[in-house]
Amino acid sequence: MREFQRVCLVHYHEIGLKGHNRSTFEMRLLRNLEAHLADFPIVTIHRISGRLCVFIREGTDYETACQTADVIARIPGTARVSCGYVCDRDLEEMYVAAERAVLDAGPFETFKVKARRNHTDFPVDSMQMNRMVGAYLCEKFPEKKVQMKGQDLTVCVEVVQGSVYVYAHSLRGIGGLPVGSAGTVVSLLSSGIDSPVAAWRIARRGAVVVGVHFSGRPQTAPTSEYLVDDIAHVLERTGCMARVYVVPFGDCQRQIAGLVPPALRVICYRRLMFRVAEALARAEGAKALVTGESLGQVASQTLDNILATNAAVSLPVFRPLIGSDKLEIIERAQELGTYEISSQDAPDCCTLFMPRSPETHAKLADVEAAEAGLPIEQWVSELVAAAELHDYRCPAYKPRKPQRA
Ligand code: ATP
Ligand code: MG
């Protein structure tokens, strides 16, 4: 039987809604796909009307093409990816390509053909194509039935410009927008369950993520740093993770613990973390901070305490999980692949110098009074200078030279 070139068609949804910016979004997705598929047998990726088409090298088997589609499905901006063939604008070619696509797709009992043409210069309209391709497949697979609703298999035939794309295998993508289309955020990454999920939520909306992790070092072992590195590698697979700053925070915490009333310690730690994160954000050109907080989950996540912590910085602080329950967050972490890592116990600054009863309704005036006289600015500069940098592979990120505050 005649061989055709295999393709993966990448369908997007929201990019399609962007007016005059559309080509910028499409090109961003195209570049991200190129980078992720560097190790796959890809010839080229083109924009075709309302889709990206990944052309796969001749002689590649169906299994490898499906693996390629699996990778594409996980890249933000992909709403759906289909694995099939490209052929000439010729009915005979279309028939055989459809037969091939059906043979690839595995067992089925019922099917339907869904044809479309993006231009009326192709003389056969979509209804006629449905009928003609359907009739051919009925002849080739006489034991199979055509069914219009709830069919096992949908054979899609799309006439786009000079070519025809035919596929019967489609899978749902992660959706969202291509990483790099929404700027950069600084995400506070603990080694816990929540913050990686929060970072991922924002990344799926197109943001590049620069992480900052506060380690208890030198007052604790660096275990949490290894876990954060593992988490960053999981996020790296989606192309959103640019770099992580690791800040040894233990000594500062010890000083705060000795200088502020026990009930306000946690708020003061967190305000200092936010300030350091903001300084790093400015150096990175990032325009927001992100945390994994969820309303009421722990003492520091009450509205009063969130207000008091936010007051330490002027950048917006995004909390994508604010309305999520812990069980929902755990499910998302499992899907993302960070849950196992986050479930490991590691002392970090969160477990260090904790008061017995932290304030749950801090008043900003009290917090500011407790901080008066502390060398906050100096601590921020020292912590920023002490931050250690780890880089990850993020095609949408252009590294800036870190400017020390
Ligand atoms: P997580 O599961 O993300 O650790 P949590 O439920 O333990 O969250 P907190 O410890 O109050 O809650 O932390 C709230 C948020 O503050 C975290 O989601 C994270 O964004 C940030 N954060 C906490 N600890 C650290 C840390 N050591 N380094 C960087 N960010 C941190
Ligand atoms: Mg935590």
Strand 208-215 to 184-188 pairing = parallel
In this structure, what token pair is assigned to residue 115? 């044809």
As a whole number, mean pLDDT of residues 67-77 equals 95
Ligand 1 near 81 CB (within 6 A)? no
Residue whose C-alpha is closest to residue 307's, from 261, 368, 251, 349: 368
Rg of the Cα trace of the chain? 26
Give the lowest-confidence range in 116-120, 184-188, 191-195: 116-120
In this structure, what token pair is assigned to residue 93? 């070619």
Asked if residue 396 has pLDDT above 70, the reply is: yes
> Furthest-apart CA pair in the chain: how many Å?
86
Ligand 1 near 188 CB (within 6 A)? yes
In this structure, what token pair is assigned to residue 85? 């063939």
Mean pLDDT over each residue of the chain, to the nearest integer? 93
User: Coil, helix or strand for 246?
Assistant: strand
For ligand 1, what atom is nearest to the CA of residue 249? 27
In this structure, what token pair is assigned to residue 275? 């300030």
Phi-psi region of 165 (alpha: psi -120 to 50; beta: other; left: phi over 0): beta
Other residues' Cβ atoms within 10 Å of the Cβ of residue 318? 19
| Distance in angstroms (rounded) separating the CA atoms of residues 294 and 299 | 11
| Distance in angstroms (rounded) separating the CA atoms of residues 83 and 54 | 10
Tell me if 271 sits within 8 A of 238, measured CB to CB.
no
∠ CA 332-185-368, nearest 5°, is 100
The predicted structure's pLDDT at residue 17: 66
Residue whose C-alpha is closest to residue 341's, from 187, 193, 188: 193
Residue whose C-alpha is closest to residue 395's, from 39, 47, 29, 79: 29
Question: From the CA of 190, which ligand is nearest?
Answer: 1
The predicted structure's pLDDT at residue 399: 83
Ligand 1 near 305 CB (within 6 A)? no
What are the pLDDT digits (tens) for 74-113? Answer: 999 999 999 999 999 999 999 999 999 999 998 999 999 9
pLDDT band at 259 (very low <50, low <70, confident <90, very high): very high
Ligand 1 near 219 CB (within 6 A)? no
The predicted structure's pLDDT at residue 358: 84
The predicted structure's pLDDT at residue 7: 97
Distance from the CA of 292 to the center of ligand 1, in angstroms?
A: 6
Strand 5-11 to 51-56 pairing = antiparallel
Q: Give 336-384 as a DSSP string.
A: HT-HHHHTS----GGGSS--SS--SS--HHHHHHHHTTS-HHHHHHHHH
The predicted structure's pLDDT at residue 297: 74
User: Which residue has the least CA distance to atom 10 on ligand 1?
Assistant: 350
Residue whose C-alpha is closest to residue 240's, from 336, 318, 105, 374: 336
For ligand 1, what atom is nearest to the CA of residue 195? 3
Angstrom CA distances, 8 to 98, 295, 332, stand at 15, 42, 27
The predicted structure's pLDDT at residue 360: 85
| Distance in angstroms (rounded) separating the CA atoms of residues 387 and 210 | 13
Query: Angle between the 326-336 and 194-203 helix axes, to the nearest 10 degrees?
Result: 70
Ligand 1 near 253 CB (within 6 A)? no
> Which residue spans within 12-79 are E strands per DSSP?
42-48, 51-56
What are the pLDDT digits (tens) for 339-366? Answer: 999 999 877 666 677 778 888 888 999 9
Tell me if 84 sits within 8 A of 166, measured CB to CB.
yes
Phi-psi region of 206 (alpha: psi -120 to 50; beta: other; left: phi over 0): left
The predicted structure's pLDDT at residue 401: 67
pLDDT higher for 52 or 346? 52
Ligand 1 near 303 CB (within 6 A)? no
As a whole number, mean pLDDT of residues 155-162 equals 94
Which residue carries 């790099």 as its tokens? Answer: 180
User: Which residue has the least CA distance to atom 14 on ligand 1?
Assistant: 293
**DSSP 8-state secondary structure symbol assigned to residue 249:** -
As a whole number, mean pLDDT of residues 25-37 equals 95
User: Coil, helix or strand for 317?
Assistant: strand
Angstrom CA distances, 72 to 75, 172, 253, stand at 5, 10, 43
Q: What is the value of pTM for the model shown?
A: 0.90
User: Which residue has the least CA distance to atom 9 on ligand 1?
Assistant: 293
| Distance in angstroms (rounded) separating the CA atoms of residues 345 and 227 | 9
The predicted structure's pLDDT at residue 119: 81
Ligand 1 near 348 CB (within 6 A)? yes
User: Which residue has the least CA distance to atom 16 on ligand 1?
Assistant: 291
Ligand 1 near 193 CB (within 6 A)? yes
Share of the chain above pLDDT 90, in %: 84
| Distance in angstroms (rounded) separating the CA atoms of residues 81 and 66 | 10
